Amino acid sequence: GMALLLVVYNRTLKKLPLVGNLAVSLLCALAIYFPEFPRMARYTLPACVFAFLATLARELVKDLEDQEGDNAAGLLTFPIAAGTNRARKLAFSLTAALLALLPVPLAYFGYGPGYAVLSVLLVAPLLLLLMRDLFRPKPDYSRCQRRMKWLMLAGMAALGAGLFNT
């Protein structure tokens, strides 16, 4: 199914505003889920949700950063189709959703204290910095991109650390 989605994305979906971003985000999220390990499904579900939301936010930031080149190339990305402000608001909302969902793995999925520590020390500050940057009148999308990459690394570290004491 993932291979088929990748083919459809490559041929059709990447040309559709937001639909292509959603497809890439879904592919990233599904790459984490391991249905052949039913015992682990409980622990991979939060990681899948975080991967989906973070990837979608990063895809939007990437499109915002590349707007000038995409426009010159005739590509219709979400920021071009819906406007820069809407794309920024969506990326901001996704980042805020990630922040709001941080306690869920600890409270409902049995993640250990390592998750809490790394979430508070690394993930939450990066999310807050991203939200601040996206809220500025003229965000530095290149900086946002770098922070998104650090956020993904910090998130993986937090999720991994949370599994050690489960």
User: Tens digits of per-residue pLDDT, 59-84?
Assistant: 999 999 999 999 999 989 999 999 99
Q: Model's pTM, two decimal places?
A: 0.93
Percentage of the chain exceeding pLDDT 90: 83
At 154, list the tokens: 């910090």
Contacts of 21 (CB under 8 A, 6+ apart): 56, 59, 60, 63, 78
User: pLDDT (tens digit, 9 = 90+) per residue, 81-128?
Assistant: 999 999 999 999 999 999 999 999 999 998 999 999 999 999 999 999
| CA 16/CA 82 separation, integer angstroms | 12
Give residue 38's pLDDT: 65
Q: Among candidates 68, 153, 67, 72, which has minimal Cα distance to 118?
A: 153
Sole residue written with tokens 């989605």: 5
What's the whole-number mean pLDDT along residues 8-12?
93
84 burial type by CB count under 10 A (0-12 exposed, 13-18 middle, 19+ buried): middle
